[in-house]
Amino acid sequence: MKLKEFEAKKLLQAVGIPLTQSTLITSPSAIPSFQGDYFLKLQTLAGGRGKAGGIIPIKNSEQAKTRCQQLLGHVFLNETIHEILLDKKIDVTREFYVGILFDTSRKCPLLIFSEEGGVDIEKVKASSPEKIIIREINYLHGLKEADISPILSSFYADKKIKSRLKEILSKLYACFVRFDCKMIEINPLAITPKNDLVALDAVAVLDDDAHYRREIQFPERTDTRKATPREIAAHQIDKDDYRGVAGKTFLDLDGDIAILTSGGGASMTIMDALMEYGGKPANFTEYSGDPPKEKVEKLTRIVLDCPHLSGLLIGGVIANFTNIAETLGGVLTVLQERKPDFPIVIRRAGPHDEEAKRMLLQAKKELGLDIHYFDEKMPLTQAVNVMIELSNQYKKQRGLAHVHSH
């Protein structure tokens, strides 16, 4: 999960890193009365905010109210703005970049420092690599004096700055570990005329798997939007039950064909084929690792909660150890309750698949469900094609000329 500036600053504040004076604005009426040099900083997950005009200098509260009325609720860099940070301008003599990033290839955190702050670190790396210092951090030993010393040597002329920088680097690493960050950066870290150090801006990316133990919680989101109720509900399925995976990945989409996939490769093949053949998925989700019947049942309920469906597609490659009868039994429980009239295409194979097939075809006969069951002899892409044809027939019969968004 990537955090917005005001959220990342909550982490920095928790470990005692100095910040500028700021107020979070979600409504123009919440703006306090003031005179002086401030900035309105649009809160977005997109990069390049400053260059795109997302940091606006203002002189008083009336200017702030006028601009906030224009900006709140409107789209900026493909994202609807719901929060603006009112930030007091401070005098700055020098700016730096400092960040900690977990490097998946080196399997350890990296401390990154640059003499050029307030700009894209990737551009500095490309144009002036000598201005960037990178140090590996040993997880067992933490951030040591030896890791920091190459950075501090740049400040031999001022003991106060040297001391403050050392303290901030130590606190930043403490923040990285404490809040299970994948990345956290201060850009820029500014020196004031009094030789104090202040974080002017911050970015953080958190490890989603550590969400349950994080002391500061943030709203779930999907890309740059808040997570939908169905997405949140799906993500809760695995919370207290680690038997297999169901709903860890769930995206609400604006189509009309419900999706239940198993296995990463199959999932991508199914979604690619669906889009290629002109189908519109209502969601994307997976279950795998032999989850129990009740977890697949919960996920199926969420998948079928989408209104205006014209089909349900259940697909996966040949399973190695997932019990096909057990998992499809979870799907069947929901189908028996809801008795949908739209077509259901199933392409599954693996342990107990014959039992699963008998069970579902029996339900088809008894309940009048429009179930089409295929095994590994049917290519995944062909099963998708069958789903789209049946879905189109269903919509045509019912006069559904277009897909309803949900």
Q: Are residues 145 and 129 in the same domain?
A: yes
Return the structure tokens found at 346: 């199933």
Per-residue pLDDT of the chain (406 residues; tens, 9 = 90+): 889 999 999 999 999 999 999 999 999 998 999 999 999 999 998 877 888 899 999 999 999 999 999 999 998 888 889 999 999 999 999 898 999 999 888 888 999 998 876 666 666 566 666 678 888 998 888 888 888 887 887 655 678 888 899 999 999 999 999 999 999 999 999 999 998 999 999 999 998 878 778 888 887 766 567 788 999 999 899 887 888 899 888 999 999 999 999 976 788 899 999 988 999 999 999 999 899 999 999 999 999 999 899 999 999 988 888 899 999 999 999 999 999 999 999 999 999 999 999 999 999 999 999 999 999 999 999 999 999 999 999 999 987 654 444 4
pTM: 0.62
At 378, which CATH number?
A: 3.40.50.261
Please report the DSSP string for 349-381 in residue order: ESTTHHHHHHHHHHHHHHH---EEEE-TTS-HH
Q: Is the dihedral of CA 31, 32, 34, 37 positive or negative?
A: negative
Asked, for residue 406, whether it belongs to a domain, the answer is no
The 3-state DSSP class for residue 229 equals helix
Domain of residue 52, CATH code: 3.30.1490.20
Residue at 103 is within a domain: yes
Given 213, 233, 262, which residue is the final one in a domain?
213
Structural domain boundaries, residue 67:
27-82
Q: Are residues 76 and 139 in the same domain?
A: no
Of 35, 61, 82, the position where a domain reaches its end is 82
CATH number of the CATH domain containing 150: 3.30.470.20
In which region does residue 289 sit, left (phi positive, over 0), alpha (psi from -120 to 50) or beta (all else)? left
Judge if 135 and 31 occupy the same domain. Answer: no
Residue 21 lies in a domain: no
**By three-state DSSP, how is residue 202 classified?**
strand
Domain stop point among 162, 183, 213: 213
